[in-house]
């Protein structure tokens, strides 16, 4: 299944572009599932742009329902509040004995209101479910704004790392000794349910991570050409590159004509075109015309869906690897090349910690495991050249195999 995640700076028109993309793909005969994280009923903003529903909601994947709309598109919405309540109630049931031992009282589902961050987990869970929906060729996800979308997509890998450090799987092998240790120490030992819950979370996070990192998953950015969007895209693309999230295309939204009789409109159009051309030097840019008003109904979306190249192609974006260059013969170093388009020196920082490298690019941070060859080296320098961070590693004589 081809998965297209649509995001961009806030207010750029992501939802409208998601609807137009879905309609253009459906016209080509593709079976489209449109997933929205916006609050409210699924026949509100997003479905309203495509037309009235043509039938009742039905389950398209376990735990995920969708309503049919125009051209056979199915639209699903995420209920983050319901997801949060169900997950917390399940967690309480699994840990009932521990809660009782501590003198606590479980919360009823009617008492629970979702906490900040619940939307991210609900979106990831819905993404995993939608990616396994049968009878779907194209999954389009109307993501949150760019910065929040990057943080959400990076979450599975980060949480899996935390779980592995805090609750290592090998410690589960000692569970048979816990009753004895508890008597000797006089304190209760971690309950088995905690490890079972961690294993369940890790399995679910791994499934979401597999969808995010799949060769069939890519992003479409949406931005209104201008200086604010340009800086937001530059920063956002740093985060995308740091997490190796490929961009299929960029929709330059609300473009006004350069040949307008109104000098102000013509000047604005010329400036917009300058930014669009600048973006086109590195990305596939799809210009989308301004309708002269905010899109209100299916007729407006139908006009936008007629735009050339708005219908997505099959996923063909290559996830560029971070290559290790062998320059031992020339310079006595190995070089790890990390593509970071648009990066500035002031944006970057790196720290070596054991077998990991902590990379910071603007507001984004990622902890990555070093390739095996680099673990036997020390970091001897780094330089930013043409949008690529080149980290130099010098072999450690005590760890590196000696030549005979």
Instruction: Assign 294 a pLDDT band (cuts: 50, 70, 90).
Output: confident
Phi/psi at 389 (5° precision):
-85, 120
CA-wise closest residue to 336 among 357, 360, 354: 357
Query: CB burial class (10 A; 0-12, 13-18, 19+) of residue 270?
Result: middle
Instruction: Assign 192 a pLDDT band (cuts: 50, 70, 90).
Output: low
Chain-centre distance of CA 36, in angstroms?
14
Domain 324-395 carries which CATH code?
Answer: 2.60.40.790
Q: Residue 226 above 80 pLDDT?
A: yes
pTM: 0.86
Between 96 and 393, the more confident residue is 393
Q: Which pLDDT belongs to residue 333?
A: 92
- State the average pLDDT over residues 76-87: 68
- How many C-alpha atoms does 199 have within 13 Å on its Cβ side? 9
- Rounded to whole angstroms, the Cα distance separating 77 from 41 reads 7
Helices (H) and strands (E) in the chain, counts: 13, 16
Phi/psi at 336 (5° precision):
-100, 115
Residue 391 pairs in a beta bridge with 336, 382
Give alpha helix (H) positions in 213-350. Answer: 227-242, 263-280, 298-305, 328-331
Q: Which residues contact 250 (CB under 8 A, 6 or more apart)?
A: 220, 221, 222, 223, 233, 279, 283, 284, 285, 286
Q: Which pLDDT belongs to residue 184?
A: 47
Q: How many residues does the chain have?
A: 404
Chain-centre distance of CA 41, in angstroms?
23
CATH class of 2-82+110-305: alpha beta
Q: What is the DSSP string of 272-290?
A: HHHHHHHHHTTS-EEEEE-
Let me know: does 222 contact 193? Beta carbons within 8 Å. no
Residue 222 pairs in a beta bridge with 251
**Rounded mean pLDDT of the chain?**
84
Q: Which pLDDT belongs to residue 1?
A: 87
Instruction: Assign 397 a pLDDT band (cuts: 50, 70, 90).
Output: confident
CA-wise closest residue to 157 among 104, 211, 82, 99: 211
Domain boundary assignment for the chain: 2-82+110-305, 324-395
């Amino acid at each position: 299944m081809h998965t297209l995640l649509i995001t961009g700076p806030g207010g750029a028109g992501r939802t409208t572009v998601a609807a137009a993309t879905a309609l253009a793909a459906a016209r080509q005969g593709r079976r489209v599932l449109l997933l929205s994280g916006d609050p409210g009923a699924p026949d509100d903003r997003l479905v309203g742009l495509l037309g009235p529903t043509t039938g009742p909601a039905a389950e398209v994947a376990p735990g995920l329902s969708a309503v049919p709309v125009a051209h056979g598109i199915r639209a699903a919405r995420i209920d983050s509040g319901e997801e949060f309540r169900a997950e917390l109630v399940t967690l309480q049931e699994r840990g009932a004995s521990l809660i009782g031992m501590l003198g606590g009282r479980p919360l009823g589902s009617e008492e629970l209101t979702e906490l900040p961050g619940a939307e991210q987990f609900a979106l990831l869970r819905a993404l995993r479910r939608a990616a396994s929906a049968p009878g779907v060729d194209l999954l389009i996800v109307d993501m949150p704004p760019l910065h929040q979308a990057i943080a959400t997509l990076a979450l599975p890998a980060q949480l899996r790392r935390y779980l592995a450090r805090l609750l290592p799987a090998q410690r589960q092998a000692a569970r048979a000794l816990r009753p004895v240790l508890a008597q000797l120490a006089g304190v209760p030992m971690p309950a088995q349910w905690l490890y079972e819950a961690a294993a369940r979370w890790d399995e679910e996070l791994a499934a979401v991570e597999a969808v995010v990192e799949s060769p069939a998953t890519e992003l479409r950015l949406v931005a209104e050409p201008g200086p604010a969007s340009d800086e937001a895209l530059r920063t956002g693309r740093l985060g995308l590159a740091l997490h190796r999230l490929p961009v299929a295309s960029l929709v330059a939204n609300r473009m006004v004509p350069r040949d307008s009789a109104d000098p102000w409109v013509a000047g604005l159009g010329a400036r917009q075109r300058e930014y669009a051309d600048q973006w086109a030097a590195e990305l596939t840019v799809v210009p989308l015309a301004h309708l002269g008003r905010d899109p209100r109904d299916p007729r407006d979306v139908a006009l936008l869906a007629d735009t050339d190249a708005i219908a997505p192609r099959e996923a063909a974006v290559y996830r560029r690897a971070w290559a290790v260059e062998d320059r031992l013969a020339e310079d006595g170093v190995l070089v790890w090349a990390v593509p970071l388009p648009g990066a500035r020196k002031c944006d970057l920082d790196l720290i070596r910690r054991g077998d990991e490298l902590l990379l910071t690019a603007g507001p984004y941070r990622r902890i990555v495991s070093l390739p095996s060859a680099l673990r036997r080296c020390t970091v001897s320098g780094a330089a930013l050249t043409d949008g690529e961070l080149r980290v130099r590693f010098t072999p450690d004589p005590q760890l590196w195999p000696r030549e005979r």
